[in-house]
């Protein structure tokens, strides 16, 4: 019951409360960029909306995996749950940064956030129920794909949008570290078909969230 209440609280906070970061964005400088044209502002808004959706999904994935770990019979369950919780707290910082940047750009969140959250929670729960090795392997592959996705956004964001670029750079560094930590904790290598399926699902999400 406690695990269910924690999961429900996380969902409500992610979808309906304004997230608050626990640390500043380390790569964000005080020097302003050049004013954005209307076209560049719209592009930045769309890209940051996609990044915000990714953080909504991250909250769901980590919450579900931690919940699955805690109710398992594995002796490592609490250690794994704590590691997932710690990564999830850093993802909350990302959620707050992207939400704030959306507001600054005058862009909206994805209208499908509840759908994205529910789908990601289900995937995270399934991965978590397959044991620590698979759960951590899922973290590694997810974070690697997110890192690649953020690198592509660094190429697409307008050069003048220094604030968005700084946020994406810090997120990319954090995701890489999460993958390394999961790898060191005993992650299993996922089969190629699973990786391909994850990449295809991410492609659908990013394509739709760019517009809706």
Q: The tokens 């109710």 sit on which residue?
A: 71
In this predicted structure, what is the pLDDT of residue 151?
92
In whole angstroms, how large is the CA radius of gyration of the chain?
A: 17
Q: Which two tokens stand for residue 59?
A: 């909250």
- Distance CA(40)–CA(18), nearest Å, equals 26
Report if residue 198 sits inside a domain.
Answer: yes
Q: Describe the crossing of helices 162-184 and 132-156 by its angle, rounded to 10 degrees.
A: 160
Residue 119 domain boundaries: 36-209
| Cα–Cα distances in angstroms (integers) from residue 51 to residues 102, 110, 150, 160, in the given order | 10, 10, 8, 18
- Distance CA(105)–CA(107), nearest Å, equals 5
Residues 6+ apart with CB under 8 A from 192: none
Report if residue 51 sits inside a domain.
Answer: yes
- Distance CA(74)–CA(47), nearest Å, equals 40
Report if residue 8 sits inside a domain.
Answer: no
Report if residue 192 sits inside a domain.
Answer: yes
In the chain, where do the E strands start and end? none
Report if residue 26 sits inside a domain.
Answer: no
In this predicted structure, what is the pLDDT of residue 83?
78
CA proximity to 54, closest of 6, 94, 13: 94
Contact 19, 13 (CB under 8 A): yes
Number of domains in the chain: 1
Supply the CATH number for residue 58's domain.
Answer: 1.20.1260.10
With vertex at residue 24, the alpha carbon angle to CA 19 and CA 25, rounded to the nearest 5 degrees, is 95
The pTM (predicted TM-score) of the whole model is 0.87
CA proximity to 61, closest of 191, 202, 212: 202
CA proximity to 138, closest of 205, 204, 66: 66
Report if residue 169 sits inside a domain.
Answer: yes
Report if residue 25 sits inside a domain.
Answer: no
| Cα–Cα distances in angstroms (integers) from residue 53 to residues 59, 111, 121, 184, 202, in the given order | 10, 10, 13, 27, 11
In this predicted structure, what is the pLDDT of residue 168?
93
Segment-wise mean pLDDT, segments of 10 residues, the chain, 212 residues:
67 76 70 76 94 91 85 70 79 91 92 90 88 87 90 92 92 90 87 89 87 86
Report if residue 20 sits inside a domain.
Answer: no
Q: The tokens 């992610």 sit on which residue?
A: 14
In this predicted structure, what is the pLDDT of residue 66?
85
């Amino acid at each position: 019951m406690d695990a269910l209440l924690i999961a429900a609280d996380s969902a409500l906070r992610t979808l309906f409360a304004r997230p608050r970061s626990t640390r500043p964005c380390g790569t964000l400088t005080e020097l302003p960029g050049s004013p954005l044209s209307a076209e560049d502002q719209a592009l930045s808004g769309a890209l940051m909306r996609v990044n915000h959706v990714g953080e909504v999904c991250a909250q769901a994935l980590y919450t579900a995996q931690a919940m699955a770990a805690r109710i398992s019979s594995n002796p490592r369950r609490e250690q794994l749950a704590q590691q997932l919780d710690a990564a999830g707290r850093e993802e909350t910082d990302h959620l707050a940064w992207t939400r704030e940047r959306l507001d600054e750009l005058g862009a909206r969140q994805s209208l499908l956030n509840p759908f994205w959250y529910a789908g990601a929670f289900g995937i995270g729960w399934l991965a978590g129920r397959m044991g620590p090795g698979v759960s951590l392997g899922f973290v590694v592959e997810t974070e690697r794909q997110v890192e690649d996705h953020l690198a592509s956004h660094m190429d697409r964001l307008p050069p003048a949008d220094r604030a968005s670029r700084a946020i994406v750079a810090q997120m990319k560094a954090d995701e890489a570290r999460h993958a390394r930590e999961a790898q060191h904790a005993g992650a299993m290598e996922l089969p190629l078909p699973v990786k391909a399926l994850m990449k295809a699902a991410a492609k659908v999400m990013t394509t739709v969230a760019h517009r809706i």
